[in-house]
Amino acid sequence: MGEVKKFMYVNRKAPFGTIYALESLEVVLIAAAFDQDVSMVFMDDGVYQLKKGVDTKAIEVKNFQPTYRALDDYDVNKLYVEAEALEARGLTAGDLCVPVEVLTRAQIGKLMEEQDILLSF
């Protein structure tokens, strides 16, 4: 009790093709209840998780994108997105469903060094 650790959740995988994005989000929601210092990083294909305009009707899969918008209610508001990943995918921060901080890979690498726990999905 009282001990606060820095947890960073590293997301590098596209949504829907595999379950990692969805199940990673479930971890973050639970983690929010533990009063730790939580941040999420989206690198490489992980940036696709935040691409707005999702419509999953035709693949009959639940659209979990609204959950990202609810993160702020859980006090999870440190969302970092890799600049190089956005650029290689023709995306900008304006294409994403939530406000984020765009950082370079090197800046993200530096932030990683400051963490106590890194969980990657």
**Which residues are near another protein by CB under 8 A?**
3, 5, 7, 10, 12-20, 23, 26-27, 30-31, 33-34, 36, 43-45, 48, 51-63, 65, 84, 88-91, 105-106, 108-110, 112-113, 115-121
Residue 2 Cβ, how far from another protein at the closest point, in Å?
A: 11
Residue 9 Cβ, how far from another protein at the closest point, in Å?
A: 11
Residue 50 Cβ, how far from another protein at the closest point, in Å?
A: 9
Residue 77 Cβ, how far from another protein at the closest point, in Å?
A: 18
CB closer to another protein out of 62 and 73: 62
- Cα-Cα-Cα-Cα dihedral sign, residues 37, 42, 47, 49: negative
- Cα-Cα-Cα-Cα dihedral sign, residues 43, 89, 17, 63: positive
Q: What is the CA radius of gyration of the chain?
A: 14
Can you tell me the distance from the alpha carbon of 23 to that of 25, in angstroms, rounded to the nearest whole number? 5
CB closer to another protein out of 77 and 95: 95
Q: Which residue in 106, 102, 89 sits closest to 51, CA to CA?
A: 89
**Opening angle at CA 44, ends 39 and 46, nearest 5:** 55
